[in-house]
Amino acid sequence: MSQSTKTYTSTCSYCGVGCGVKIHKAVNGSLQIEGDKSYPANQGMLCSKGMNLHYAAMDQTDRLLYPEMRGNRNMPLQRVSWDTALDRAAAVFKALIEKYGPDSVGYYVSGQCLTEEYYIANKITKGFIGTNNIDTNSRLCMSSAVVGYKLALGEDSVPLSYDDIELADCFFITGANPAWCHPILFRRLENHKAANPHVKIIVADPRKTQSCSLADVHLQLQPGTDIVLCHAIARRLIETGKIDQAFIDAHTSGYEAFKEKVFTLSLQEAADICVLEKELIIQAADMIGDSQAFISMWAMGLNQSVIGVNKNVSLLNLSLITGQIGKPGAGPLSLTGQPNAMGGREVGGLSNMLPAHKNLLNPAHRKEVADFWGVPAINEKPGFTATEMFDQLLSGKMKAVWIICTNPLVSLPDARNAEAALRNARFVVVQDISNKSDTLKYADLVLPAAAYMEKEGVMTNSDRRISYLSKVMEPPGEALPDVDILCRFAHKMGWKESFNYASNAEIFEEYTRITKGTNIDISGLSYADLIQRRSVQWPVPEKGHPGTPRLFTDHTFYTPTGLANIISVDSMNHSEKLDDDFPLILTTGRIRDQWHTMTRTGKVRKLNKHISKPFLEIHPEDAGIRGIKQDDVVTIESRRGDVRVTAILTEDIKKGVVFLPMHWGRMLSTDLTRTNNVTNNLIDPVSKEPDYKFTAVQVTKY
């Protein structure tokens, strides 16, 4: 680098791996990206998305530059000043709250928001508006894992670090394709196995994905049968004595009931339900049982399910009955989809949570938070979750929604229902960076936000690592950091004293104070410390504390008894039913080089080269009986809508199952490439996470 180039450190803003980057900025403003060799998560490596971060940042051709508003949806949006825009937002919110109560409004935010932004949005909503109607698109990807961890371990807490990967000798990857979706973790896994060929890798997925390239065993199970599979593995572990009875006796509760549950099906019966060979289940179970250090990894394949919580606890049980937790190279490692989904949860950015993982249903916790914020009380009623919020906009119970950094008309299930909800809403605020967001069509007020690299802030990745992201460049036009927009709005609402921050540091340090004494205590961390240290894993309870790479090392869990809970769950799937009209199971997911709804990665030519258009994966036998050939245009139809894309025939997908990528929204002025036209609106009853991975569909040649 030339001497005139300035280097900044940051964290990749795409997936939850949270890779460290160095951003080199030349005097002419051009940027170069380099993986940070000193950063623990990635050790200098970057995937294709991370390597192209700077192209997405430098291309500002699609950016929203000025606040805009309109009197009604038949009028065009018109440029206004920030004062006019936020005066209108405050006037409408005040009027609706006065007439219909605080629950008539809400915020829908994002796992890509920075921690400070999340904290302020949460404080405005729960503390000052007086509703808990703030939820995040992390609800769509992680909430089942959150509930699973809480039920089993007593807290939403990932017990291990990425550095445990190199210490493990067996991995069970289920409902995840890290080769494409968490590529740097997968590369660490590849390197580890290459150096240690005895390391065993088991992959469970109805598709033979790129991650299977590393698998010793691929369990190509029937969608919806994950619990049956985990129970069968548990049964085999118990039958062969490959459990840790001493650990179970001393540190867990619920084992006997669980044992009884898993013995209700024989291995053959379980194999038949999963449509797997029994021998493969035995091989997988024996690999886990023989392991000295076992890690499970999972993502949306388990979480995005109508039984997502039950799938999570059935997987966590495997770590608990084998005593593979709280020790080197062991534990359940959920793979977070978004870069700051964990940070959002830490500050309470879900409609049923309070900051520092305090419990909304606990009166003492509500009082602590109310006193801390200087407000009379926190509303005791949980707010609407992501999909519920849109249902309530449609029903008219909610009148206004403020959408920050997310594109729900592409990402929510049953997207046409979400579209009808926004059409019906009285007032929609869209705070975003891109003029390509599909929600703009329904926006009454548009607020231009600063993007990644245009603001400083904090995120937490999948292994509890809190990191500081530098500001590298100025936002274009009049765009402002989200946190500034939110604080300016709070001032307009008359809450100036409580939102009068001189800096991001003040916001972050206010949040750290409320964590004191909790399981996620970071009260020992100042902003200056974090900038200087670059990153640290929580808890950090006192100044100078080195951070906490591994939890539960003394096998005391965060439950009231200190025991981990081995939870017996039913294995029945409650997804929508297949029938003659809709006989195929649709599952959805990501592709390697695109991120979410493509507003950033879609701008990068190199990334569009990998896969340039939406497609349907279908087994040749399913295609054959429908007269479908390679590259034919096909219609995918469900009970809610339809999608039209090109067919790819492949034996890598299980017969009876089809796959659509999630990324594409409207193309060529039609919504027929939008995958979520067909997905269903069933949700897990506890986590409220949608059932994206199981929709009954029919496929026909167009």
From residue 242, give the alpha-carbon distance in Å to each of 237, 291, 314, 324, 421.
Answer: 5, 9, 17, 12, 52
Q: Which is nearer to ligand SF4, 46 or 315 (CB)?
A: 46
Closest contact distance (angstroms) between CB of 360 and ligand SF4 is 31
186: number of CA atoms within 13 Å, CB side? Answer: 22
Q: Which is nearer to ligand SF4, 17 or 288 (CB)?
A: 17
Closest contact distance (angstroms) between CB of 12 and ligand SF4 is 3
Residue number, nearest CB to ligand SF4 = 50
- Strands 353-354, 358-359: pairing kind: antiparallel
Q: Phi first, then psi: give them for residue 588, nearest 5 degrees.
A: -125, 165
Kind plus residue range of the DSSP H or E element containing 5:
none
Report the alpha-carbon distance of residue 375 to residue 377 in Å, rounded: 6
Closest contact distance (angstroms) between CB of 458 and ligand SF4 is 16
Q: Which is nearer to ligand SF4, 17 or 645 (CB)?
A: 17
Residues binding ligand SF4 (CB under 6 A): 12, 14-15, 17-19, 42, 46-47, 49-50, 182-184
Q: Which is nearer to ligand SF4, 53 or 129 (CB)?
A: 53
Report the alpha-carbon distance of residue 151 to residue 298 in Å, rounded: 17
Q: At what angle do helices 143-153 and 308-321 cross, to 10 degrees?
A: 40
Could you give the strand order of the β-sheet that contains 170-174, starting from the edge strand earlier in sequence? Answer: 217-219, 200-204, 170-174, 294-298, 331-334
Closest contact distance (angstroms) between CB of 21 and ligand SF4 is 8
* DSSP assignments along 522-586, one per residue: -TT--HHHHHHH-EEESP--STT----S-S-TTS--SSTTSPEE---------SPPP-SSS-EEE
Q: Which is nearer to ligand SF4, 19 or 199 (CB)?
A: 19
Q: Which is nearer to ligand SF4, 51 or 636 (CB)?
A: 51
Report the alpha-carbon distance of residue 152 to residue 168 in Å, rounded: 22
C-alpha 207: how far from chain center:
21
Q: Which is nearer to ligand SF4, 12 or 451 (CB)?
A: 12
Give 393: exposed, middle or buried? Use CB within 10 Å, 0-12, 13-18, 19+.
buried
Q: Which is nearer to ligand SF4, 607 or 672 (CB)?
A: 607
Closest contact distance (angstroms) between CB of 1 and ligand SF4 is 20
- Residues 24, 5: contact at Cβ < 8 Å? yes
Q: Phi first, then psi: give them for residue 318, nearest 5 degrees.
A: -65, -35
Give 382: exposed, middle or buried? Use CB within 10 Å, 0-12, 13-18, 19+.
middle
Q: Which is nearer to ligand SF4, 311 or 663 (CB)?
A: 663
Which of 491, 483, 478 has the alpha carbon at shortest distance from 79? 478
Closest contact distance (angstroms) between CB of 603 and ligand SF4 is 16
Q: Which is nearer to ligand SF4, 217 or 335 (CB)?
A: 335
Task: Please tell me whether the peptide bond between 549 and the residue prior to it is cis, using omega within 30 degrees of 0.
Answer: no
As a residue count, the chain comes to 702
Closest contact distance (angstroms) between CB of 209 and ligand SF4 is 16
Closest contact distance (angstroms) between CB of 181 and ligand SF4 is 8
Closest contact distance (angstroms) between CB of 678 and ligand SF4 is 27
- Residues 465, 18: contact at Cβ < 8 Å? yes
DSSP 413: S
Closest contact distance (angstroms) between CB of 645 and ligand SF4 is 25
